[in-house]
Amino acid sequence: MPWRWPWRDMDTVHPITARLRAAALGLCACVLLGAANPATALYDKARTRYQSLKGQSDHQQYRHHWTRVIDSFDVVVSRYPKSPEAPGALFTIAGLWAELYAISKRDGDLKQALDVYARVATRYPKSTLADDALLKQAELRAKQGQDPNAATVTLKTLLSRFPKGDKVPEARALLSSLKSTQPLGSRASNAASPTPLAAATTQPPVPTVASTPSAAPHIVIDPGHGGKDTGALTAKDKAEKAIALAIATRVAEQLRAQGFVVTLTRTADTSLSLSERTGLANQLQADAFVSIHANASRKPDAHGIETYYLDVTHDRYALKLAALENQTNEHEVSDLRLILADLATKVNTDQSYTLARTVQTQLVKAARTRNPKVRNLGVKPSLFYVLLGARMPAILIETGFVSHKQEGTLLVDDAYQTTLADAIAVAVGGHFRTLVARGE
**Which amino acid, one-letter code, is at 230?**
T
Q: What is the mean pLDDT of residues 203-226?
A: 62
DSSP labels, 394-435: EEEEEEEETTSHHHHHHHT-HHHHHHHHHHHHHHHHHHHHHH
Q: What is the mean pLDDT of residues 55-73?
A: 84
**222 membership: H or E segment, kind and range:** strand 218-223
**378 membership: H or E segment, kind and range:** strand 376-382
pLDDT at 385: 64
pLDDT surpassing 90 at residue 32? no
Taken as a whole, the chain contains a residue count of 440
Query: What is the residue extent of each domain of the chain?
Result: 6-36, 38-183, 202-437
For 56-104, list the strands marked E by DSSP.
none
Q: pLDDT for 342-375, tens place per residue?
A: 444 555 778 889 999 999 999 999 999 999 999 9
What is the spatial distance between Cα 315 and Cα 160, in angstroms, rounded to a whole number? 60
In this chain, the answer to whether the domains covering 38-183 and 202-437 adopt an identical fold is no
What is the spatial distance between Cα 337 and Cα 289, in angstroms, rounded to a whole number? 20
pLDDT at 105: 79
Name which residue leads in pLDDT, 197 or 4. 4
pLDDT at 347: 54
Model pTM above 0.85: no
pLDDT surpassing 60 at residue 400? yes
Name which residue leads in pLDDT, 57 or 332. 57
Name which residue leads in pLDDT, 22 or 112. 112
We find that the CATH architecture of domain 38-183 is Alpha Horseshoe (1.25)
Could you tell me which residues are beta bridge partners of residue 394? 289
pLDDT surpassing 50 at residue 330? no
Q: pLDDT for 199-213, tens place per residue?
A: 333 333 333 333 333
Among 186-190, 323-327, 348-352, where is mean pLDDT lowest?
Answer: 186-190
Name which residue leads in pLDDT, 183 or 394. 394
Among 162-171, 346-355, 408-417, where is mean pLDDT lowest?
Answer: 346-355
Evaluate whether 155 touches 183 at the Cβ level (below 8 Å): no
Name which residue leads in pLDDT, 192 or 395. 395
DSSP labels, 228-259: TB---B-TT--BHHHHHHHHHHHHHHHHHHTT
DSSP helix/strand/coil, 248: helix
Instruction: Work out the end-to-end distance of the chain between its first and last CA atoms, rounded to an integer number of angstroms.
Output: 86
Evaluate whether 374 touches 407 at the Cβ level (below 8 Å): yes
Q: What is the mean pLDDT of residues 64-82?
A: 88
What backbone phi and psi angles, to 5 degrees, belong to 164? -110, 15
CATH number belonging to the domain at 202-437, selected among 3.30.70.330, 3.40.630.40, 3.40.1410.10, 3.40.50.720: 3.40.630.40
Name which residue leads in pLDDT, 37 or 418. 418
- How far is C-alpha 412 from the chain's CA centre? 36
Q: pLDDT for 243-271, tens place per residue?
A: 999 999 999 999 999 999 999 999 999 98
Confidence of residue 407 (pLDDT cuts 50, 70, 90): very high
CA-only gyration radius of the chain, Å: 30
Cα separation values, 318 from 115, 362, 398, Å: 41, 22, 12
